[in-house]
Chain A
Amino acid sequence: MSKLPGLARVGEVLANRKLPALVMKVNWGRQMVISIPFLWLAIFFFIPFVVVLKISFSEAAIAIPPFSDLFEWDPDGAYATFKLNLGNFLFLLEDTFYLDAYLSSVKIAAIATALTLIVGFPMAYLIARAEPNRRLFLLALVILPFWTSFLLRVYAWMALLKRGGPINDILIAFGFIDEPIRMLQTDFAVYIGIVYTYLPFMILPLYSVIEKLDGSLLEAAEDLGCRPIQSFFLVTVPMVMPGIIAGCLLVFIPAVGEYVIPSLLGGSDTLMIGRVLWDEFSINRDWPMASAVAIVMLVVLVLPIMFVRNRIGNKGEV
């Protein structure tokens, strides 16, 4: 009796012999396709990351390259000493300058992201609600600035915002101000730069969710007693939340590590980690320290994002 089920299973396996072979075949092709992006990530992300990690544990040295080896070979070549230097990371914790830089970067990036959302949402909404044949044109307008160099566009903002720039000229001409106001080299200019540069990254994901938003949901909300403003917050916002989160991450992550915009538009007091990293790397020529800064930045950014992603993932399932 007890053997019978076993026999039956053998029969089943024999009968289905072709099936696993087929599955294997399909899987091979699939593995090939999936392996390409994996390979890409391994070569251009993981290996450089390991290299940077390695450098962060070494000591600065006057040499080429300017850091010590983790392994030091005995002159006889008989044994090697392994020197792991945690000093860079300890120094990051000790010197509040770095902590301030991290916090200031996150703060500036967060405010800039919020501003981008405020500017981007109405634009995405109007594009998604425009006549279908006009939407593509409007989206093209959003993307159009990408066709010129990013650096050039930031320089253009420098020209616009400077003391004798057109914005000050116009404000004076209309009598809003008597003296030119200082806009360049302030946090304000940095916000303008980030919002302007990253706006398309906010608009595109928002557009794609708003376009799919079922208009009858809003009508249902109104029918059940919602004024338009209530239905916006109770229905539209929750429905487009995935787009809001995607857009905010796409703006926030690069904005934290932004170097060019704070350097060109920000003042000397605009403290951002990207600048600190650059100074450490090129002015102090302290590669290990710069690497440690970069590693910590990655951790500071990745952990909260993973947290957010997990929460959304769980929510979506329930």
Chain B
Amino acid sequence: MTTEEKSNQTNSDTNPLTAPVPDLWRDPNATPFVEIENITKKFGDFTAVDNVSLKIYKRELFCLLGGSGSGKSTLLRMLAGFEAPTSGRILIDGVDMAGIQPWNRPVNMMFQSYALFPHLSVEKNVGFGLRRDGMAEEDVKRRVKEMLDMVQLGHLAKRKPNQLSGGQRQRVALARSLIKRPKLLLLDEPLGALDKKLREETQFELINLQEELGVTFIVVTHDQEEAMTLSTRIGVMNHGEIVQVGEPHDIYEYPNSRYVAQFVGSVNMIAGKVSVDEVDHVVVESEEAGCTMRIDHGISCAPNQEVHVALRPEKIMVAHDKPEQDLNCMKGRIEEIAYMGSLSVFRVRLPSGKEIRVTQPNYARDMGARFTWEDEVYLYWDVDSSVVLTV
């Protein structure tokens, strides 16, 4: 499911939606595993987390996505018990976590900097939690060995953290946080310190591990691509609030605000005025685009309200000749072309001065050569490609 989502995101076109997997969060009667109820956290005058409510279900891989200062890490730290909420309630597996200290919570955390103990070997780092619980030494040894084999680090057990590469440290941190078999694992930017190639590999390992162990994961990340790949659901945060919760596909294709649309992926935001507002479609007149746009979903808005139409670059088609449709068709001049290998990016200037970003997959070898700088082109798209946003 996740691979298809990824291709959905990078390859534009019109891959039909992958069939939704019936999962707990779709079932209104399911009991949530983690319940965050009206949580607020204030540091002095600053509100880091503002009245957040979330329900996270068993075996989910939930991503909290947001920029820096959006409150996602603070929320995670409250789940781990390092910060006490100013108001609100956190329930994990039905137990109110108020006043329960970090060392007594059924939760483990993987830290952003990994926080490996530099004075202890890999083996001692991973076994640290079990030894604190007073587990018999031979059991600790066995469990540590199993866990290290699982993350393919069995041969490095005697090393110190500073003798490991970034990727190996990340695995040690993961092994250490999983060894106590927590009900809930919190991961703070788990892949943030890895280079791009390693990050992509590790993403899938993380997903496999999570499915294998059946642990509920809550991941904090600022990387939308990472969130899209990893998660069953994403909660987008901004200024301490959750602005949208949904499956990666929903977040990408049906953003509920300009913030979400712009934060997740790239998007062209075209201003316009609603002229027709029906149940199943909206028509928007836009001076900026120089055309009339029709979008096949209804919105609730006032007549003539100023709205924005969000249009993903990969959903726009480019042609030299005028297409048959009059709706959803803009004219412009190519100002810049960037050839990226798998796709080409065009920057097209409209007569209104508005710049539109278009990506075209290079499905034939010399696709890019068809268009060149200063070409007058038509940009057009289907009625089900764009989204109208009122906020």
Partner among A214, A217, A224, A318 whose Cβ is within 8 Å of the Cβ of B132: A224
CA distance A239 to B161 in the complex (A): 14
B373 CB within 8 Å of chain A: no
Number of interface residues of A (CB under 8 A): 17
A219 CB within 8 Å of chain B: yes
Q: Is the CB of A219 within 8 A of B82?
A: yes
Q: Which of B103-111, B192-200, B210-218, B291-299 contacts A (4 or more CB under 8 A)?
A: B103-111
A222 CB within 8 Å of chain B: yes
Partner among B117, B129, B160, B177 whose Cβ is within 8 Å of the Cβ of A217: B117
A216 CB within 8 Å of chain B: yes
A29 CB within 8 Å of chain B: no
Partner among A219, A224, A239, A318 whose Cβ is within 8 Å of the Cβ of B128: A224
Q: Is the CB of B80 within 8 A of A221?
A: no
Chain A residues touching B, majority SS: helix
Q: Is the CB of B119 within 8 A of A222?
A: no
B133 CB within 8 Å of chain A: yes
Number of A-B contacts (CB under 8 A): 56
CA distance A107 to B117 in the complex (A): 35
Contact residues in B for A219 (Cβ distance below 8 Å): 80, 82, 102, 109, 111, 115
Q: Which of A72-80, A131-139, A170-178, A225-233 contacts B (4 or more CB under 8 A)?
A: A225-233
Contact residues in A for B119 (Cβ distance below 8 Å): 238-239
Contact residues in A for B349 (Cβ distance below 8 Å): none
Chain B residues touching A, majority SS: loop
Provided the pairs A217-B117, A219-B82, A219-B102 are in contact, do residues A224 and B129 lie with their beta carbons within 8 angstroms? yes
Within 8 A of B (CB), among A188-237: 214, 216-217, 219-227, 230, 235
B69 CB within 8 Å of chain A: no
Q: Is the CB of A223 within 8 A of B118?
A: no
Distance of B155 from chain A, by nearest CB (Å):
18
Q: Mark B275-305, 1 if CB is under 8 A from A, else 0.
A: 0000000000000000000000000000000
**29 A/B residue pairs, CB under 8 Å, sorted by A:** A214-B113, A214-B115, A216-B112, A216-B113, A217-B115, A219-B109, A219-B115, A220-B115, A220-B116, A221-B117, A222-B81, A222-B103, A223-B80, A223-B102, A223-B103, A223-B109, A223-B177, A224-B128, A224-B129, A224-B132, A224-B176, A224-B180, A225-B103, A225-B129, A225-B132, A226-B103, A227-B101, A235-B117, A239-B118
Top 5 A-B pairs, shortest CB-CB distance = A224-B129, A220-B115, A225-B132, A216-B115, A222-B102
| New A-B contacts (20) at CB < 8 Å, excluding given A221-B117, A224-B103, A224-B132 | A214-B113, A216-B111, A216-B115, A220-B109, A220-B111, A221-B128, A222-B81, A222-B102, A222-B103, A223-B102, A224-B129, A224-B180, A225-B103, A225-B129, A225-B132, A225-B133, A227-B101, A227-B103, A235-B117, A239-B119
